[in-house]
Amino acid sequence: MEKIMSENTLAHSARAEQSRSALLQLLRRLHFYIGLFIGPFIFMAALTGTLYVLSPQLENTLYSHQLFAPVSEPAKPLSQQIHVAQQAMGADVRLAAVRPAPSPGETTRVMFSTPTSGPSETTAVFIDPSTLDVRGILDVYGTSGVLPFRTWLDYLHRNLLLGDAGRNYSELAASWLWVAALGGGVLWAAGRRTRRASQKTTSRSKRTQRRHWHSSLGLLLLLGLLFFSATGLTWSRWAGDNISLMRAHFGWMTPSVNTALPVPVAGLHQTSAGMSHSTGGMHAMPQDEHAGHQMADMKMAADEHAEHKMAGMAMPADPSLVAAVKPAQFDGVLAAARMAGIDAGKIEIRPASVINKAWTVSEIDRSWPTQVDSVAVDPRTFHVVDKVEFAQFGLLAKLTRWGVDAHMGVLFGLPNQLILAFFGLGLCTLIVMGYRLWWQRRPLAGEGPHPAKTLLHHWRQLSLSVRFLLLICTLALAVSLPVMGLSLLLLLIVDALRWQRAVRAQAA
């Protein structure tokens, strides 16, 4: 009896070891395929992202005339600055937002929505607050307000200047990056015992040394690569939508101010009675930090770069609801927001296009400490009708906000930029090292391992329980990350075709 139990135990251990070996072989081949086929996309995302995070200082130099102005006298009222900007742009454009000069020596941005403005794009008139001189007119993009040069880099990183179709490239890179990083870490840990034994008996070859450096660099970058992948997916087109839906379902969205106002009755004086005031966003509408001012459009919630998609900028169908935006209103709205605690230097005033919506005044300082409080102000009475403070955000909303800002290199300023550049250039180096290893180890024609050692072959060597668990996880990831699921299917097809071609060649 003991002999039978011992044999069963040995058999079970042998099957477990075989399954473990097959799982490692499956992971090794998948890691190889990610590096070979997905590596170029990850390389481009890392390189263009590094260029973007290192460009703020260059942007300040390129556009110094528009961004900065000598301090000659006290700043004029904001209404006068807006009036000058409106005269410079003409009457055929709509005033979208105003960003007062953050500090002396900087200019005020008066931003307009034009017929040619794309999503999250506006045309800004830069006004000297002291002299009311127009310092320039430039297109700006997103909440970060990047100017044409950085906008070009942003689009290059995001979609390779190919439009919406190009966004699939960055989503492909972000979807597989975490798999490659974790898979490489598991392979390194699994091979530690073998490497130690070989080091005691033989000296390292150059190929072994290069593989060691590749693994060591990958481990050094591991946490950063996981961070880039997670935050990058929130910007993606398909996976980002799924992430936003999940967050909305569990109530993890970032709160935003409630801008609803009662529609005034003709001929009656509108008072502030009956307006809600929810401190801390208790009755605020949820907002995704990727899509501020999205008017609860959850489909846009996955895009930080499209934070101002102009949703809600379109004119209402009923002409009687159209709001007339007057420059004099900005002084009163700004004063009310300051009294309500909006004390950051960098703020944005966004007027509503309809009379039953309040104006929003938002802090846009994404550095540390983060200042992103916002208030809704009735432009007729200058009463604050709602307020949302960052201090009262949920933990997940705060982490997401900080993660997005750190990904963009703005959270901690220059140190943040340098850290991102290190990880970005390190990832590029890691990919180049991986290609060099593959080139040196590539099998010659008719040599090397049999092509039957495919992903499917290794998967079939796993135990039934492991296969079932792996299949469930794969299907869940394919649904959550559609670009990953489609690309995995293509990898399996390539693997099968390669196997069939080699088998036919051997038979011939």
Do the domain assignments include residue 155? no
The confidence score (pLDDT) of residue 252 equals: 80
- Residues 113 and 251 both lie in one domain: no
- Residues 430 and 456 both lie in one domain: yes
According to DSSP, residue 131 is labeled: T
Do the domain assignments include residue 12? no
394-417 pLDDT, tens digit each: 888 899 899 999 999 999 999 999
- Residues 250 and 360 both lie in one domain: yes
- Residues 289 and 402 both lie in one domain: yes
- Residues 304 and 398 both lie in one domain: yes
- Residues 400 and 454 both lie in one domain: no
Q: Which residue, 376, 408, 440, sits at the end of a domain?
A: 408
Strands (E) across 160-270 are located at 254-256
More confident residue, 193 or 253: 253
Per-residue pLDDT for 297 more than 70? no
- Residues 344 and 445 both lie in one domain: no
Kindly report the number of other CB atoms within 10 A of residue 203's CB atom.
8
Residue 341 is part of which domain span?
238-408
Per-residue pLDDT for 448 more than 60? no
Do the domain assignments include residue 154? no
Do the domain assignments include residue 331? yes
More confident residue, 109 or 450: 109
Tokens coding 333: 């709205």
Do the domain assignments include residue 348? yes
- Residues 361 and 302 both lie in one domain: yes
Q: Which residue, 359, 384, 408, sits at the end of a domain?
A: 408
152-196 pLDDT, tens digit each: 999 999 999 998 899 999 999 999 999 999 999 999 998 776 666
The confidence score (pLDDT) of residue 305 equals: 37
Per-residue pLDDT for 308 more than 80? no
Tokens coding 323: 């709001």
- Residues 23 and 112 both lie in one domain: no
- Residues 357 and 477 both lie in one domain: no
- Residues 100 and 118 both lie in one domain: yes
The CA distance from 65 to 204, in Å, is 58
Do the domain assignments include residue 7? no
- Mean pLDDT across the stretch 227-237? 92
- Residues 230 and 243 both lie in one domain: no
Q: Which residue, 88, 123, 146, sits at the end of a domain?
A: 146
In this prediction, what percent of the chain has a pLDDT beyond 90? 60
pTM: 0.84
Question: How many domains does the structure of the chain reveal?
Answer: 3
Burial class, 333, CB count within 10 angstroms (exposed 0-12 / middle 13-18 / buried 19+)? buried
